[in-house]
């Protein structure tokens, strides 16, 4: 049975570095907690990532994933760069590079945690 769902947002108009800061924030969290974290952030890339997460939750509902969902993997890759020119004084022109991102998000089912059983320590019974 498929236990993960992948969603993609290609050509997002945010620089990869700025989106990676938010991706590191939500990686490994439960989906509800990650959505709350993203909605409280002031960055514009947080809205894009939250929208992608909601799309992933809808895909997880379609795939009948259990309710204990986590954000397993978020990767942010570079997209194409668009170069523009802005006029400057004395007839010069400066170059502006508009960066884009490809965001991949994987939602999976959290594994059940097992309580650690304390191991018995062996006592040394040696003579000197």
How is the chain split into domains, by residue range? 4-109
Residue 53 scores a pLDDT above 70: yes
Mean pLDDT value of segment 15-28: 96
- pLDDT given at position 16: 97
Q: How far apart are CA 23 and CA 6, in angstroms?
A: 15
- pLDDT given at position 17: 97
Question: How high is the mean pLDDT of the chain?
Answer: 92
Q: What is the CATH number of domain 4-109?
A: 3.90.470.10
3-state secondary structure of 12: strand
Cβ proximity of 17 and 61 under 8 Å? no
Give the H or E element holding residue 106.
strand 101-109
Q: How far apart are CA 88 and CA 16, in angstroms?
A: 28
Q: What is the pLDDT of residues 78-122, one digit of tens each?
A: 999 999 999 999 999 999 999 999 999 999 998 877 767 777 777
- pLDDT given at position 125: 73
């Amino acid at each position: 049975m498929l236990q993960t769902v992948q969603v993609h947002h290609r050509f997002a108009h945010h620089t990869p570095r700025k989106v990676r800061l938010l991706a590191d924030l939500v990686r490994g969290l439960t989906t509800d907690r990650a959505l709350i974290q993203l909605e409280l952030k002031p960055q514009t890339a947080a809205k894009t990532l939250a929208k992608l997460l909601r799309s992933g939750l809808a895909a997880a509902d379609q795939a009948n994933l259990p309710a204990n969902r986590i954000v397993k993997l978020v990767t942010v890759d570079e997209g194409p760069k668009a170069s523009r020119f802005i006029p400057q004084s004395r007839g010069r022109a400066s170059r502006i590079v508009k960066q884009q991102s490809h965001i991949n998000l994987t939602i999976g089912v959290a594994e059940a945690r097992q309580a650690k059983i304390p191991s018995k320590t062996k006592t040394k019974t040696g003579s000197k």
